[in-house]
C-alpha cells in the first residue's frame, strides 16, 4: 500500500513539475534583449542564489536531531506497551533514570494515544498507538517518581479512564 502511494506521489509530482520545467526551458531559449541593466540582473540572480543557499543551510542546520535512530539506543531499557479499550498493559513497572527507555507501543483494538506525564502532570512526549503497528519512542528520564500514561486519542466511552502508571527509580 505504502509502495503504491509512493509511486502515485512521484507520478503526481512529476505531472505538476512538468509545466514549470517547460516554462524554465522555454524562457532560457527566448532571445535576451540587450540590456544596460545586465549587471543589476546578474546581481539579482546572485542575490537569489545566495538567499536560496542561505535558506538551505539554515534549514538543515536548525533541523532537530534526526529521529532515525529513535530505537537505536545501545543499552536502552525496552518497555512494551499495549493499549486496550480501556487500559494500558506495560510489561515493565519500573525503569531506571538516566538510561534511555524505548517504548514499543501497540494497540490490541482501536487507535489510542500514548502520552507520558511526569509526576507534576506535565506531558513529556506522546506517540500514536495504532492497530497493526509497533511505534517506538525513546526517552531518557532524569527524575525518579511515578509517571502516568494517559490516552490522548478518543477511543470510546471510557477513554478518560485509560490511565497507566510506571515508576522511574534512581540508578543504583
Ligand atoms: Cu485509548 Cu482513548
Model confidence pLDDT, tens digit, residues 91-125 = 999 999 999 999 999 999 999 999 999 999 999 99
In a domain, residue 71? The reply is: no
For the chain, the C-alpha Rg in angstroms (whole number) is 26
Same domain, 102 and 125: yes
**CA 2, chain centre distance (Å):** 17
Put the strands of the sheet holding 135-140 in their side by side order: 87-90, 77-84, 100-107, 135-140
Same domain, 113 and 83: yes
26 C-alpha to center of ligand 1: Å?
56
Same domain, 83 and 163: yes
91 C-alpha to center of ligand 1: Å?
19
User: pTM here?
Assistant: 0.60
Structural domain total, the chain: 2
Residue 2: count of CB within 10 angstroms of its CB: 6
Same domain, 81 and 162: yes
Closest atom of ligand 1 to CA, residue 156? 2
CA 54-65-138 angle, to 5 degrees, is 165
In a domain, residue 69? The reply is: no
pLDDT tens digits along 129-141: 999 999 999 999 9
Same domain, 44 and 84: no
Query: Residue 88: which of 137, 129, 149, 156 has the closest Cα?
Result: 149
Q: What is the mean pLDDT of residues 15-27?
A: 80
| Domain span at 24 | 2-28+38-63
Amino acid at each position: 500500500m505504502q509502495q503504491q502511494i509512493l509511486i502515485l506521489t512521484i507520478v503526481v509530482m512529476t505531472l505538476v513539475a512538468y509545466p514549470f520545467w517547460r516554462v524554465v526551458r522555454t524562457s532560457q531559449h527566448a532571445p535576451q534583449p540587450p540590456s544596460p541593466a545586465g549587471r543589476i540582473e546578474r546581481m539579482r540572480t546572485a542575490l537569489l542564489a545566495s538567499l536560496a543557499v542561505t535558506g538551505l543551510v539554515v534549514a538543515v542546520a536548525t533541523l532537530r536531531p534526526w529521529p532515525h535512530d529513535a530505537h537505536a539506543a545501545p543499552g536502552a531499557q525496552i518497555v512494551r506497551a499495549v493499549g486496550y479499550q480501556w487500559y494500558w498493559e506495560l510489561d515493565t513497572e519500573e525503569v531506571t533514570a538516566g538510561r534511555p527507555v524505548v517504548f514499543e507501543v501497540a494497540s490490541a483494538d482501536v487507535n489510542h494515544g500514548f502520552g507520558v506525564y511526569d509526576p507534576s502532570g506535565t506531558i513529556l512526549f506522546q506517540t500514536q498507538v495504532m492497530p497493526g503497528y509497533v511505534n517506538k519512542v525513546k526517552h531518557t528520564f532524569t527524575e525518579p517518581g511515578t509517571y502516568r500514561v494517559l490516552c490522548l486519542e478518543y477511543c470510546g466511552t471510557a477513554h478518560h479512564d485509560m490511565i497507566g502508571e510506571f515508576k522511574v527509580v534512581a540508578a543504583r
